[in-house]
Amino acid sequence: MTVDTASPGKIFTIWKTLEKLPFGTWLFTRAVCFKVPYFRTVHPLIRELSPGLCRVSAPNRRGVRNHLGTYHAIASCNMAEIAGGIMTDATVPSTHRWIPAGMAVEYKDRATTGVTSIARLDPIPEFGEEPMDLVVPVDVLDADGNVFVSAEITMYVSRKKAR
């Protein structure tokens, strides 16, 4: 098996440029939400991104609350998908492509505050010629740091076809 050590994808390259600028993380997040409009529904802000790590925050506002006044379960899934997807894109080399193939979610508690989702891969796997299922763990935490939702997102990763 050949191990790929190719450069990171475009999204991570753009992040590295914008994160240094005033309002750069805000601008980066807006660009991501333009590309994937549904992400806008939770008003995310991508705060940290590196291969193997992504941290995203979002406020608890009326549009993400359920009938009990707590952070909605599906809004939590959306937060998990943002962190998991952006982290995967920053981690998978530019010679490969990925797509979500499934998600398992555990609702542990409820949140009445703003939330933070954290996707973390440790260790980062080697990406070779053979397609693989990459399981990305994501925790969604309330403002006190309590995990109220845990998710595992399965990403199907394969080498890009030659053009």
pLDDT the model gives residue 121: 95
Token pair recorded at residue 96: 């490969």
In the chain, pLDDT over 70 holds for what percent of residues? 94
pLDDT the model gives residue 6: 56
Contact status, residue 139 vs residue 149, Cβ threshold 8 Å: yes
Q: Report which DSSP code applies to 135.
A: E
Mean pLDDT for the chain?
92
Q: In this predicted model, what pLDDT tens digit does every residue of 16-65 receive, in sequence order?
A: 999 999 999 999 999 999 999 999 999 999 999 999 999 999 999 999 99
Residue located via tokens 């894109």: 89
pLDDT the model gives residue 162: 76
Q: Where are the alpha helices (H) located in the chain, listed in sequence order?
A: 10-18, 24-35, 73-91
- Model's pTM, two decimal places? 0.90
The arithmetic mean of pLDDT across residues 150-161, rounded, is 96
Radius of gyration of the chain from its Cα atoms, rounded to whole angstroms = 16
Instruction: Please give the Cα distance from 111 to 73 (Å, whole number).
Output: 10
Rounded to an integer, what is the distance from CA 13 to the centroid of its chain?
A: 16
pLDDT band at 9 (very low <50, low <70, confident <90, very high): confident
Token pair recorded at residue 100: 């979500």
Q: Report which DSSP code applies to 63.
A: G
Q: In this predicted model, what pLDDT tens digit does every residue of 68-87 receive, in sequence order?
A: 989 999 999 999 999 999 99
3-state secondary structure at position 101:
strand
Residue located via tokens 């979500």: 100
Residue located via tokens 């530019």: 94
pLDDT above 50 for 3: no
Instruction: Please give the Cα distance from 117 to 103 (Å, whole number).
Output: 15
pLDDT the model gives residue 161: 85
